[in-house]
Amino acid sequence: MQTKSFKGKVALVTGGSRGIGAGIVRRLAADGASVAFTYSSSPEKALELVREIESEGGKALSLKADSGSAEELRAAVARTAEAFGTLDIFVSNAGILTGGTIDTYSLEDFDRMVAINVRAAFVGIQAAAQEMNAGGRIVIIGSCTAIRTAVPGASVYSMTKAALVGLVRGAAIDLAPRAITVNNVQPGPTATDMSSAHAELAKTLIPLKRMGDVSEVASFVSYLASEEAGFITGASLTIDGGYVA
């Protein structure tokens, strides 16, 4: 049963207008948090999500920000703290996937992937930590491709997600004196608008014979952001139906 365990808490989710990000926004709001989220190119979806949360008695704020821009990301963190008075939970969810085999992959695509999938996580952690009081929660959304690349054309994406594993370990140690936990959630194939076409293929690769549900990832994030998870930090945890088992 969901409880209002985050009543009085403030959260920021990057890339929160759709997919896994929107699921996390909905769950944290349902749990009582005031939730800000960023979007880069879907203002209609962002506004729709704000209205949905407000119609259910929650508080939400959408912020246009490109996670590839350190300045825009820092501004989003600052605006969240200004609007709601503090920041307790930061979820770095925004990410992109540009496929291509290593022998033909362009440097431009490589730099963009690193900027959004890796540098943005660093910038977000740094900015959020500066706004947080002791006991804050930081959750990075990685991918099980950090462990199992599996298919051709995913080398750079896999590399960016593997980089988050090391970043989270070090950040957890750095922020431990302030009791701020830092963890990395690594979803496997998850049912979203973008991945629905691969549902049948996923059934052949995943021991549980189905894709994950966005709500399952969101509930995992909610747990890691809770007081109950205060002794978990520096961890990279898969939620993948046994895909990498």
User: Among 105, 157, 223, 243, which one carries the catalytic annotation?
Assistant: 157
Which helix (H) or strand (E) segment holds residue 13: the answer is strand 10-13
Contacts of 29 (CB under 8 A, 6+ apart): 35, 53, 56, 58, 59, 60
Nearest to 13 by CA among 185, 203, 244: 185
Task: Give CA torsion, residues 21, 237, 170, 38, to 10 deg.
Answer: 0
The Cα 207–Cα 201 span in angstroms is 12
Amino acid identity at 23: G
223 is an active site residue = no
Distance CA 135, CA 229 (A): 11
Query: Which residues are part of the catalytic machinery?
Result: 157
